[in-house]
Amino acid sequence: MYINWEGPLITINPEHGTDLQFQGNPPKGIKVPNYGNFGGPLISGEGGGPVDSLDELFQSHDAEILAASQDAGGLTPQELVQAHANLIGAITNLPETSEGLLEVETATGETIADPEATLYAGSTIIVLTVQVAQFGVEDLSLLEAELGSGASDVPDALTKAAGYVGTGLEALFEEQLDYLIA
């Protein structure tokens, strides 16, 4: 369980979308936790290596964006869309339990069905798709064209994301309920 609920929390204002022009702390924003050492805006390995296989996907995403950013022209919207499509496709290819929880391999080599990984993965797909949609219809079409390894199109990816969020929240609620009863 690697959502950093206690912080550092990044603040995102829905009016500004996921544009980080405010360096993560726009006024009147929503506090968003990070995941592991690479998942979420404005972190990239600050706490060490990846904590599990989902965090490894976030690390790859960060590396892809960093490499494109260092090109002469800087990061283009097309390169960002490609990086987002790669991450979305990789997330939708993670193994799932019959209950719909994502199975992640921890840094110690143990495979677990993790409600937090499932919740965060679904939320990530939704946020990345919204960010691309804010660029414009042509970039959303590009995202759809780039998907294919696990999600055949944007609606499929978003349907999976909604399932991940629901399944993750339900499992986390059950865990908390079991804790309170015990």
Quick one: tokens of 30? 């929503």
Tell me the whole-structure pTM to 2 decimals: 0.86
CA-CA-CA-CA torsion for 143, 148, 151, 152, nearest 10 degrees?
90
Listed in sequence order, the residues at least 6 apart from 111 whose beta carbon sits closer than 8 Å to its beta carbon are: 103, 104, 105
pLDDT, residue 49, reads 94
Closest CA to 87 of 134, 138, 42, 122: 122
With vertex at residue 74, the alpha carbon angle to CA 18 and CA 147, rounded to the nearest 5 degrees, is 60
pLDDT, residue 175, reads 81
Q: Where are the domains of the chain?
A: 39-181
Would you say 139 and 129 are in contact if contact means Cβ atoms under 8 Å apart? no
Distance set, CA 5 to CA 2, 15, 74, 132 (Å): 9, 23, 33, 26
pLDDT, residue 145, reads 82
pLDDT, residue 176, reads 77
Q: How many Å apart are CA 151 and CA 93, to the nearest integer?
A: 8
| pLDDT per residue rounded down to tens, the chain (182 residues) | 788 887 766 776 666 554 444 454 556 667 788 899 999 877 777 779 999 999 999 999 999 999 988 887 888 888 889 999 999 999 999 999 999 999 999 999 999 999 999 999 999 999 888 888 877 767 778 888 888 655 568 888 999 999 999 999 999 998 877 666 75
pLDDT, residue 19, reads 47
With vertex at residue 79, the alpha carbon angle to CA 58 and CA 87, rounded to the nearest 5 degrees, is 25
Radius of gyration of the chain (CA): 16
Pairing, β 30-32 against β 10-12: antiparallel
